[in-house]
Amino acid sequence: MQERKPRFTSLSGLDINRVYSRDDLKDWSPDHDLGDPGEFPYTRGVYPTMYRSHLWTMRQFAGFGSAADTNRRFKYLLQHGQTGLSVAFDMPTLMGIDADDVRAHGEVGHCGVAISSLSDMERLFEDIPLDQVTTSMTINGPAAVIFAMYLAVAEKRGISGERLGGTLQNDILKEYIAQKEWLFPPEPSLRLITDTIAYCVKQVPKWHPVSISGYHIREAGSTAVQELAFTLYDGLTYVEAAVKAGLTVDSFAPQLSFFFNVHNDFFEEIAKFRAARRLWAREMEHRYHPKDPRSLQLRCHAQTAGCSLTAQQPTNNVVRTTLQALAAVLGGTQSLHTNSMDETLALPSEEAVKLALRTQQIIAQESEVTNTADPLGGSYYLEALTNRLENAALAYFRKLDDMGGMVKAIERGYPQGEILDASQRYQREVERAERIIVGVSDYLERELRPIPILKVGPEVEHEQVACLSDLRKSRDPFKMAGAVEALQEAASCGENVMPYLIEAVKAKATLGEICAALKEVFGTYREPVVL
């Protein structure tokens, strides 16, 4: 019988056979490659009971407008059953500049919440019990500064670091590779990350000081293989930096976390999560020989693929998100964000984000896929695909090792070039109708049905600028200047900067002022041209 296409491939370009059998697993050992859930190499999950004991954390990414606006959204989501918070910051905040900076004009509060000072952070988490809910913060270049603000808020409320749980993205390597939001050159940026890791080891033991992110690598156009390889190698780079800074691997590795994209290729995405856990466990064991099994366990957050959403027929995005979320759950994620159907048009409306949350809740409570750990384990197709993803990622590992590590590779533009090639290949396939996108390349509709969208008005910027003006007038300028000067001295002599950052934000130094002061010490960065 003639088949629909001359060649069937995954989104990563891997050839897919008509059928799979034991012949595709000739060198595969269930004991060596699969094991039991909660046991090395953790292919089937990092916990023995997986979702039979605890469901994943439902953590919707949220942030827009002012701190007060986002605070209301947090409370709305918590009221509707969300089990963890995730903060989206606006572009000025991500780039370490204040809302009253001329470069921030027109961007304040538009793609996330505007946070310029400790006062903003206090408003953001007003009436939210920080010791009873975990918080994830998607921030990278100025991550240490934002984290210092969060810790200062907790301290002011009498909440010790031992009682705080959450995640700081703090992954600067993927910024150089994919997202392009950096403040400092790679080496001082790595130093800031090791400072946060070391501080958390002693002061905030339940916090994940870095979430190594493949999400943005995939959003930039990578394949699943590239996302897997570059993300895990970034993780190994942070481990190496922390070890060189004098930390023992078992003191911090259990606090590391990962963040993956979940795209449309259902089985490839499930296999990616399983391959990630196995590859991380084996590489950590091989390279660092930890004694604590938790140092070998890859724990991760997942988010459905923003790049897969379409502005055309946006209600179709509900279906895409559902399948992607199901793949993340079957892949064994520890927490999950489901995108809203309107995110290609604007920041999510309340109704859209509630529907996205309900998607997770229906999977968790009605589908019954949580009844057993790794329900697809042992599938000829899935196990063969898991092996292929792992081996393809290992090939990238060897190339990166030969280049002298990820920083050297970034300086040569290698991962950037690989992602560029992959994104161009995918776009050509779409344009040639080799890959169908429903509502875009096929099944078109002439009339678009409008849906309500959220709009952020100019009053947000005006109010934020006014608040900053009031803060600058109310603070003790000598105390603030002294705290910033002490921070610069610590940064110059190699001391851990976290205690000094906390003191600076408590002295009412703003995000932009602190980042500008650190740039005087660390310098700035210009990326290589990739052709």
Backbone φ and ψ of 179, nearest 5°: -85, -25
Backbone φ and ψ of 436, nearest 5°: -90, 130
Q: Report pTM.
A: 0.95
Q: Which of 137-146, 271-280, 292-301, 522-531 has the lowest mean pLDDT?
A: 522-531
In a domain, 128, yes or no: yes
Query: At 447, is the pLDDT very low, low, confident or very high (cuts 50, 70, 90)?
Result: low
Helix (H) or strand (E) holding 174: helix 173-174
In a domain, 188, yes or no: yes
Looking at residue 210, its pLDDT comes to 97
Token pair, residue 277, equals 């856990």
Domain count, the chain: 1
HSE (side-chain half, CA atoms, 13 Å) at 466 = 7
Neighbours of 242 (CB within 10 A): 24
Query: At 530, is the pLDDT very low, low, confident or very high (cuts 50, 70, 90)?
Result: low
pLDDT at 337 over 90: yes
Query: At 132, is the pLDDT very low, low, confident or very high (cuts 50, 70, 90)?
Result: very high
Question: Radius of gyration (Cα) for the chain, nearest Å?
Answer: 23
Range of the domain at 194: 22-370+380-431
HSE (side-chain half, CA atoms, 13 Å) at 460 = 25
pLDDT at 218 over 90: yes
The 10s digit of each residue's pLDDT in 226-261 is 999 999 999 999 999 999 999 999 999 999 999 999
Going across the sheet that includes 300-304, the strands are: 57-58, 335-337, 300-304, 257-262, 211-213
Token pair, residue 187, equals 């080496």
- The contacts of residue 446 (CB under 8 Å, 6+ apart) are none
Across 397-424, average pLDDT: 96
Q: N- to C-terminal Cα distance for the chain?
A: 44
CA dist list (Å): 21 to 7, 321, 463: 19, 30, 63
Residue type, 184: F
Residue 328: name the closest of 80, 59, 111 by CA.
59
Identify the CATH number of the domain in which residue 331 sits: 3.20.20.240
Query: At 222, is the pLDDT very low, low, confident or very high (cuts 50, 70, 90)?
Result: very high
Neighbours of 200 (CB within 10 A): 23
In a domain, 41, yes or no: yes
Q: Comparing 350 with 454, which gets the higher pLDDT?
A: 350
pLDDT at 263 over 70: yes
Round the average pLDDT of the chain to a whole number and report it: 95
Q: Which of 4-8, 68-72, 74-78, 360-364 has the lowest mean pLDDT?
A: 4-8
The 10s digit of each residue's pLDDT in 151-201 is 999 999 999 999 999 999 999 999 999 999 999 999 999 999 999 999 999
- To the nearest whole percent, how much of the chain has pLDDT over 70? 99
Backbone φ and ψ of 42, nearest 5°: 65, 20
In a domain, 5, yes or no: no
Report d(CA 179, CA 182) in Å as an integer.
9
pLDDT at 395 over 70: yes
Residue 96: name the closest of 526, 509, 527, 528 by CA.
509
Looking at residue 525, its pLDDT comes to 87
Name the pairing type of β-strands 335-337 and 57-58: parallel
Cis amide prior to 41 (ω within 30 degrees): yes
In a domain, 453, yes or no: no
Q: How remote is the C-alpha of 491 from its chain's centroid?
A: 27
Across 329-335, average pLDDT: 98
Judged on CB neighbours under 10 Å (0-12, 13-18, 19+), 32 is exposed
- The contacts of residue 163 (CB under 8 Å, 6+ apart) are 131, 154, 206
Token pair, residue 134, equals 């975990």
The 10s digit of each residue's pLDDT in 461-500 is 999 999 999 999 999 999 999 999 999 999 999 999 999 9
Looking at residue 448, its pLDDT comes to 67
In a domain, 342, yes or no: yes
Note the residue count of the chain. 531
In a domain, 472, yes or no: no
In a domain, 315, yes or no: yes
Looking at residue 346, its pLDDT comes to 86
Residue type, 269: E
Helix (H) or strand (E) holding 286: helix 266-288
The 10s digit of each residue's pLDDT in 42-101 is 999 999 999 999 999 999 999 999 999 999 999 999 999 999 999 999 999 999 999 999
Backbone φ and ψ of 501, nearest 5°: -65, -40
* Sign of the torsion angle spanned by Cα atoms 68, 74, 78, 79: positive
Helices (H), 332-458: 350-365, 380-403, 406-412, 414-431
Backbone φ and ψ of 315, nearest 5°: -65, -25
CA dist list (Å): 54 to 3, 293, 366, 371, 477: 43, 20, 15, 11, 49
Q: Which of 90-104, 206-220, 227-241, 430-444 has the lowest mean pLDDT?
A: 430-444
Looking at residue 343, its pLDDT comes to 92
